[in-house]
Amino acid sequence: MNIALAQLNVHAGDIAANLSAMHQLIDEAKAQHADLIVFPEMAVGGYLIGDRFLHEGFVQELLEANEQIKAWSKGIAIVWGNIAVHPLNLRNRDGRFGRLNGAYFAQDGQWVQRENGILDGLYVKHALPDYRFFDDSRLFKSGVDLTRELGLAQEALIFPFSLSLNGKTWRIGLEVCEDLWSGDYPINPTALYAKQGVDLILNISASPWTLGKEQSRLKQVQAHAKALGNAMVPLVYVNAAGIQNNGKNVLLFDGDSTIFDRHGEVLVEANDAFTQELKIIPWDQASKADPTPNKLLSGLLAGIKEFDAQVLGSRFNWIIGLSGGLDSSLSAVLLTKALGAHRIIGTNMASRFNSDQTKSIAKSLATKLNIRYQEGSIETLTDATLSTVEAFGVSAEADGLPYENIQARLRGHLLSSFAAYQNAVVANNGNKVELALGYATLYGDTIGALSILGDLTKVQLFDLAASINALYGELIDPSLIGTLVNGKYEFGFAPSAELKTNQIDPMKWGYHDYLVRYFTEYPSHHPFEWVQKYADGSWKATPVAETMVAYGLDDPKAFVKDFRWFIRNWQLAIFKRIQFPPILTVSRGAFGFDYRESQLPPLETPQLKALLDQLEH
């Protein structure tokens, strides 16, 4: 059997675009004599489309597309993901019409039959994820529930399909994405298929990529192979490429479609570079792909490019508040490499607090990148703002936090104004530590169409900047990149908001970065647990022990003072995070719909307070 892995760049919500791309790939697969072409989960309308799944008119269009795709199956077998509706018209638990997440199977203009004759041509996803970005059980009814409502045995809808090719009948098991990750669910489709002796399992996925995800997928397949032993069969995994979003998080899909042998080893790979590909190969013939180098960088570039094309229609320029700091420098480089210099505008809006060094760095970077550059002073605006405030009878001084925030908000106002006149959208430059600790001004440096760096800590940005300089030459000024020396990061020019004289960012770089990841990537972690680690001494075995010592946090009083500052700022910043732009998501715990927050009372519970007080005294 020649299998075509159709690693589709699914455009969420755009049925016509997806059908056109699918038709083209099907024709290409036929021309290359493929017997079977496999598309990703929800290939027709997209997976992350929110409550559009509740629009009956939209769902009807999706269902009508199935007939069109089935007609294209003359001379080839096709597997694709799309919505299905309940065969008995029973409602979902939200009281609306019954929706199912399905994998469809057609050949020669007909539905491929299931061996037991039940629901030919359709497999229904059994394991519905409700963690991280996913709300599947809110949107769909599971195959487990459907089986029960149809009065069938538990395995009835996890039953092989019979595919006839070249005089041979192949027994095929279909799965949808999470069905492979069955450890936390009451049913294991992979094991059931293997024990039924299928020849092949096809898993269609819309699996977002985050750092290290490729290893996680491999481990999952190998865990099945180890558990099933000789019963394990080859598995074909086809994933989406590109981006999709849920409003607050822009998720990357790296593709990485793979054929695994019966031992869970990689036999065939498509690219993992976030791009569409049609890979056609005999299912038992090895064809490994080289992993994408600098995958984080590739993902960020792909995310910017796809967001610009799919969400904004490539209609706008991108304007950056180019301050001369690390974050804005990285944003400028990434946008330029993704979209081209002709669409990027760097804007330096200096006040009397901005150093000649940062102004020079900003201008030099714009020259290196060959982007448009505009600069000027905000002093006139800040003076006018203070005068206007005082004209309303409110006392205003050119000093203190209110004055710092005025400068930041005026910069946001200017960027929005420039964008309006220059057919542009604003890029948000904030990083994850700033976002966690509220080190950003609402309606100032929190604005933007997309947060490019909002899921990366400052330490991760140091590494990213070094990678960019290694790849493209010295674009990022080395003085901005922190170097770890004896547990502390040293700089030629330390991070600063430059909103007052001699201002330096208050974060303890390395340590606070670690805490942000500790709490977001493992949301079950409570502040009490971290303080307990400190109290029992187990913090000394963590990756940041040397950094904590370098900052003097081996002194319990210093530790408590810093921790209370960290937690207080985290809590106070929630309202800013709720209003923050969509974040290009690369971690296993991003702010937004991944790490979900409500505005709640302080995190310092009586139990936590007692432990902190004990350490302090």
CB atoms within 10 A of CB 390: 12
What percent of the chain stands above pLDDT 90?
Answer: 91
- Amino acid at site 83: I
Cα dist. 122→99, 115, 613 in Å? 13, 12, 60
Helices 295-310/458-472 angle, 10° precision: 90
pLDDT in tens, 407-462: 999 999 999 999 999 999 999 999 999 999 999 999 999 999 999 999 999 999 99
Residue 293 in any domain: the answer is no
Instruction: Please identify which residue in the block is written with the tokens 């003097």.
Output: 552
Strands across the sheet with 266-269, in order? Answer: 161-165, 168-176, 200-205, 235-239, 258-260, 266-269
User: How many CA atoms within 13 Å lie on the side-chain side of 27?
Assistant: 6
Residue 250: pLDDT over 90: yes
- On whether both 58 and 146 belong to a single domain, the answer is yes
At 55, phi and psi to the nearest 5? -80, 110
DSSP 509: T
Alpha carbon of residue 143 to chain centroid? 27
- On whether both 482 and 354 belong to a single domain, the answer is yes
| Band of pLDDT at residue 288, cut at 50, 70 and 90 | confident
- On whether both 258 and 313 belong to a single domain, the answer is no
Residue 272 in any domain: the answer is yes
Segment 21-39 shows an average pLDDT of 98
* Residue-averaged pLDDT of the chain: 96
Question: Contact 18/45 with Cβ under 8 angstroms?
Answer: yes
- On whether both 280 and 325 belong to a single domain, the answer is no
Q: What is the 3-state secondary structure (H, E, C) of 132-200?
A: CCCCHHHHCCCHHHHHHHCCCCCCCCCCCEEEEECCEEEEEEEEEHHHHCHHHCCCCHHHHHHHCCCCE
Number of domains present in the structure of the chain: 2
Q: Rounded CA gap, 54 and 58, in Å?
A: 8
- On whether both 564 and 441 belong to a single domain, the answer is yes
Residue 152 in any domain: the answer is yes
pLDDT at 501: 87
- Amino acid at site 583: I
Domain that holds residue 387: 306-616
DSSP 116: T
Helices 326-339/295-310 angle, 10° precision: 70
pLDDT at 493: 85
CA-wise closest residue to 6 among 48, 37, 50: 37
pLDDT in tens, 330-380: 999 999 999 999 999 999 999 999 899 999 999 999 999 999 999 999 999
pLDDT at 502: 84
User: How many CA atoms within 13 Å lie on the side-chain side of 184?
Assistant: 7
Of 253, 285, 317, which residue sits at a domain end? 285
Q: Rounded CA gap, 97 and 61, in Å?
A: 15
Residue 343 in any domain: the answer is yes
- On whether both 323 and 251 belong to a single domain, the answer is no
CA-wise closest residue to 18 among 85, 68, 57, 60: 68
- On whether both 354 and 208 belong to a single domain, the answer is no
At 492, phi and psi to the nearest 5? -75, -35
CATH number at residue 151: 3.60.110.10
- On whether both 312 and 265 belong to a single domain, the answer is no
| Band of pLDDT at residue 503, cut at 50, 70 and 90 | confident
Cα dist. 104→29, 38, 60, 83, 292 in Å? 18, 10, 16, 9, 31
pLDDT in tens, 135-193: 999 999 999 999 999 999 999 999 999 999 989 999 999 999 999 998 889 999 999 99
Q: Which two tokens stand for residue 131?
A: 């963690």
Residues 6 or more apart whose Cβ sits within 8 Å of residue 504:
494, 495, 496
- On whether both 262 and 364 belong to a single domain, the answer is no
Residue 295 in any domain: the answer is no
- On whether both 349 and 392 belong to a single domain, the answer is yes
CA-wise closest residue to 262 among 318, 176, 190, 185: 190
CATH number at residue 352: 3.40.50.620
Residue 291 in any domain: the answer is no
Q: Is pTM, for the whole model, over 0.85? A: yes
Residue 239: pLDDT over 90: yes
Question: Contact 573/603 with Cβ under 8 angstroms?
Answer: no
- On whether both 7 and 64 belong to a single domain, the answer is yes
Residue 292 in any domain: the answer is no
Residue 301 in any domain: the answer is no
- On whether both 323 and 262 belong to a single domain, the answer is no
